[in-house]
A and B are shown apart, each in its own frame.
Chain A
Amino acid sequence: MDISSFPILSLIIFLPLAGALVIALIPRRNLAAIRGTALLFALATWVASLWLVLGFLPGRDVVASAAGSFQFVEAVDWIPHFGIQYKVGADGLSVALVVLTTTLSWISILASFSPIRERVKEYMISFLILEVGMLGVFLALDLFLFYIFWEVVLVPMYLIIGIWGGANRIYATIKFVLYTLVGSLLMLVAILATAFTFQAATGSWVGAFDLEKLAGSGFDGTFQLFAFAAFALAFAIKVPMFPFHTWLPDAHVEAPTAGSVILAGVLLKLGAYGFIRFAIPLFPHGAHVFAPLLIALSVIAIIYGAIVALVQPDLKKLIAYSSVSHMGFVTLGIFIFQAQGLQGAILQMVNHGLITGALFLLVGVIYERTHDRTLAKMGGLGAITPVYSAAFGFFVFASVGLPGLAGFVGEFLVFQGAFAFNPWLGVAITFVMIFAAAYLLWMVQRMCFGPVSEFLAGLGHHLTDMRPVEILTLAPLGALTVVLGLYPGLVLDLIAGPVKAVLAAVDPAVAMSIGR
């Protein structure tokens, strides 16, 4: 069947919704059917996304427009009164992140089978709706539609943390929602203002929310400053960039394992994606003006995240702060406006999703057995659970950036970009890598090496090694980590088009001439 004649993107976005509706019809006592259906639909979505990759590859080099070059575009009038469309389309960046999302989604659902025993029905429905929102964000080409998917993500995550989370879950989840909401509502004002500005200039609402029409339409310089600031605030909170990161450690600590996986793996990428897809192409002048500030905040995040991670007593909190640091590389790579930097940033988004997702899964494995995440109580796991320790070590090394594993390439490219941008900056952040190695390796040491701790010894035979299901959830992530480490070209090839498009949009000659 020819993929281009088929609404493949809508299928991918709404398959999980169909799954949620089917689950709603299953009696709540039938846990096996609920879990099975959720996994089935998540897997089907995953397969569809792989099919999308195969269909996408042949046309990936089509010449880019100001916003990028999109395939499989579906556009239907939705609210014609305001020119709002249901418009979706995919470029290499979307495709890469869609596959990341669908992969982590089915893995998370599978990993939830055993820890989630209460209100399984509501959980699975929330999770599938969450997937709809995330996929929609990555595929929407209409600003209004994008905003709706952006907000759709919020509610299920709020419920997942708030219902199935830890002791302090209510505080964490409300903090998460309020932070995100403040940013996104200001972005809504900016979206509406952008659309109206377009309408005022062209005299018609047609295309006023259409990313492809808006990008490169050259908004007035002052307007770009305000609009970019509003978009950037929303995305910076989501990434999260320093100083908007404080919701993240709370949310991570309280979220159930699968929630943490998705939070780290996909939700943080929504912010970075928003910068690349919307904020920069729409308001290149604004992006240029704010770039120094955002670069500074990124560098602070890289250093600050690493230092704070060093002293965390809680495993999840440690990984959460490491995420702040790693996402700092992403935003740094984006805002130095430089090919290697941007490639590295996008690669780092994918890698961070895989590796940190896996690390949170591993924390979940140990938490399920010990009901504790305090590093001080751990020790000597290598002797009791060798498979677990090996897996843990593997992903930690990937996270540190060991050459040959995925984490290395992304960071290396960002370094390269940073050196080209400013050698001193490059030197500075290279030194931070020592911190990263320090907190991560020290974590492994405290977890796996040394004598078996009293706490763990007290658990006796309850502390079993990994079960086959758990290995199954980690294996695909491990495989991808190796493959992308050895052959990063898989992703770099996909994103060559989008990278070129973004860099063309922020070309100083173009961007700075606006509003002068």
Chain B
Amino acid sequence: MTWSDLTVIAPFAAVVVVAALVILADIVKPGNRHLALGVVLAGLAIVGLLTLWTGQAPGTAFGGMYKVDNLTTFLDVIFVAIVALSCLFAPDYLEPRGLPIAEFAAILVFALGGAMLVAASADLLVLFLGLELMVIPGYMLAGYHKRDALSTEGAVKYFLLGSFSSAIFLFGLAYVWGLTGSTRIADVAARVGEIVAGQATLSPGLAMGLAFLTTGVAFKMAAVPFHYWTPDAYQGSPTPVTGYLSVGPKVGAFAVVLRVFAEALLPLRQEWLIVIFVLAALTMTLGNLVALTQDNVKRMLAYSSIAHTGYMLVGLAAYAAGVIGGLEGLLFYGVAYTFMNLGAFAVIAALQKRPGVSSRLETFAGLGRREPVLGILMVLFLLSLTGIPPTAGFFAKAYVILAAVQAGGWLTVLAVIAVLNAAAAAFYYLRVIVYMYMRDPTGEPAPVAHGALLRLGLGITAVMTVILGLFPGLLLPSVSSAAQAIGVAIR
């Protein structure tokens, strides 16, 4: 290990230190949430700065197993933002229910470490390590409200299916390793390229590897038909956890996809293009159709998050067809989705501050009158999720659709499927607005005071949702350079 190794892994090392410090703080002063939150937020700020600092000088560490490029930095910043926002939103929900905050924060930070490891992996083994480190805390968080039967049920489902999918993914990696003789992403790509170049059809081994990898990763990102764990896990988990689960592991899964499919298996892109095409179409359509019938907002957002996976896959499909804009669109979508979806879940969490308040649609009845600010913010997030301009969600959709149109051919059909889905999705997003503004509240619950952290977090998500919608140009240079890091001009 050299000094340069240390500077390259500095952000990751810092994450581990922060996680340890949070646990330590909770041991020294048990149950002191101010201390725990202070340590986490300060630590995350340092991690964020370190990430940006390391990102200035891309490089590799540990003999090329760990690398920092523009994509790593870009994804890391999203991950840090996701965890920081989740920590801002959590106290208001967890505290009245007597759920410990320090554990929540520490587990999240560990998950952050896993996600960052995935983003920085130049080796498939490191990638798998990161993947597991990222998802195992997720299982814990899902079942973290252990006296709640729904939470436990969701966690068990999530754990079982998650473990299966990890195993399947690993099995796929074994095939790839067996055929290429290497776990280094760059070597794998080169070797696969040589294998493919000489053959008209795909060798059975590679086909098996590709199939297993796709299945494993489709589970993680909750693509149809591998999505069954999502609604139960999302509905059962405490709301701030759901918010995190709907964003963190999903963006993380896309990081896996980028490293494995868009980088290591790039020579096979013609093959996985078809798979991604079908997955994208199915995921969008089924996610939206089922979301239409939900009357629980958390469950509705769970299905809608499945649909959003589909939109992001459209970008990936466009990239597979040779349009680098697809990759850019996918990354932009990830950022937009992070802020708008976390924001929407934060509003639900805020409404559920008083224990016992459900996340059913009736909870939202008359919200516009009871809590005008929360109402307006929820409208903003829902419009963004729908894709109505001028919000971040609109530009994100336009970006992936533009990429699909650029790719032409069948991908134009995918673009049309995507917009028809967006129109259908408007129905269930708008229904929440109907309840908030067009129905009278059932009973008149006493207003609750919202914590300063929650308000800060809501402010950040709302401002980002608007700014990325009005001035997407601000993010485009970073998106481009992140995409350039792995997407050589493949057309």
Contact = CB atoms under 8 A, between A and B. Distances in A.
Nearest to B389: A148
Given A81-B476, A181-B423, A192 B398 contact: yes
A81 B390 contact: no
Interface stretch (A157-165, A364-372, A438-446): A157-165
A320 B387 CA distance: 30
A186 B416 contact: yes
A162 B437 contact: yes
A155 B416 CA distance: 22
Contacts of A152: 389-390
Interface string B464-491: 0000000111001000100000000000
A478 B443 CA distance: 48
Given A148-B389, A177-B426, A178-B426, A196 B476 contact: no
A117 B394 CA distance: 34
Contacts of B471: 78-79
A255 to B, nearest CB: 13
A189 B473 contact: no
B81 interface: no
A307 to B, nearest CB: 31
A173 B368 CA distance: 18
A152 B391 CA distance: 10
Interface string B424-438: 001100110110011
B222 interface: no
A73 interface: no
Contacts of B405: 189, 192-193, 196
A402 B473 CA distance: 54
Interface in A196-217: 196
A147 interface: yes
With most chain B CB atoms within 10 A of its CB, the pick from A78, A148, A188, A195 is: A188
A196 B412 CA distance: 12
Nearest to A150: B389
B473 to A, nearest CB: 4
Interface string B34-47: 00000000000000
A192 B472 CA distance: 16
B402 A196 contact: yes
Interface on chain A toward B: helix, strand, loop, or mixed SS?
Answer: helix
A282 to B, nearest CB: 16
B401 interface: yes
A87 interface: no
Contacts of B416: 186, 189
A155 B383 contact: yes
Contact of A155 (B387, B388, B412): B388
Range of interface residues on chain A? Answer: 20 to 34
B119 interface: no
Interface in B382-426: 383, 387-390, 394, 398, 401-402, 405-406, 412, 415-416, 419-420, 422-423, 426
Interface in A159-188: 159, 162-163, 169-170, 174, 177-178, 181-182, 185-186, 188
Interface in A64-90: 78-82
B127 to A, nearest CB: 30
A192 B418 CA distance: 14
Contacts of B476: 79, 81
A166 B433 CA distance: 17
B115 to A, nearest CB: 27
A420 to B, nearest CB: 39
A378 to B, nearest CB: 30
Contact of A181 (B398, B402, B426, B433): B426
Interface string B227-269: 0000000000000000000000000000000000000000000
A154 B473 contact: no
A314 interface: no
A192 B401 contact: yes
A78 B473 contact: yes
Contacts of A148: 389-390, 394
Contacts of A196: 402, 405-406
Contacts of A174: 427, 430-431, 434
Given A79-B473, A192-B398, A185 B423 contact: yes
Nearest to A200: B406
A151 interface: yes
B434 A162 contact: yes
Contacts of A178: 423, 426-427
Given A181-B426, A189-B419, A79 B412 contact: no
A65 to B, nearest CB: 27
A103 B478 CA distance: 45
B415 A189 contact: yes
Given A79-B472, A196-B405, A196-B406, A185 B422 contact: yes
B427 A151 contact: no
Interface string B115-158: 00000000000000000000000000000000000000000000
B426 A188 contact: no
Given A178-B426, A193-B405, A185 B420 contact: yes
A122 to B, nearest CB: 8
A169 B438 contact: yes
B438 A170 contact: yes
Nearest to B477: A81
A40 B3 CA distance: 67
Contacts of A162: 433-434, 437-438
22 contacts: A81-B476, A81-B480, A82-B402, A119-B369, A122-B437, A151-B388, A151-B389, A155-B383, A158-B430, A158-B433, A159-B433, A162-B433, A170-B438, A174-B431, A177-B426, A178-B426, A185-B387, A185-B422, A189-B401, A193-B405, A195-B402, A196-B406
Given A158-B430, A162-B438, A182-B423, 19 more contacts: A78-B473, A79-B476, A81-B473, A148-B389, A151-B389, A159-B433, A170-B434, A177-B430, A178-B423, A185-B419, A185-B420, A185-B423, A186-B416, A186-B419, A186-B420, A188-B398, A189-B401, A189-B415, A189-B419
Interface of B: 368-369, 383, 387-390, 394, 398, 401-402, 405-406, 412, 415-416, 419-420, 422-423, 426-427, 430-431, 433-434, 437-438, 471-473, 476, 480
The 4 closest A-B pairs by CB, nearest first: A185-B419, A148-B389, A192-B402, A81-B476
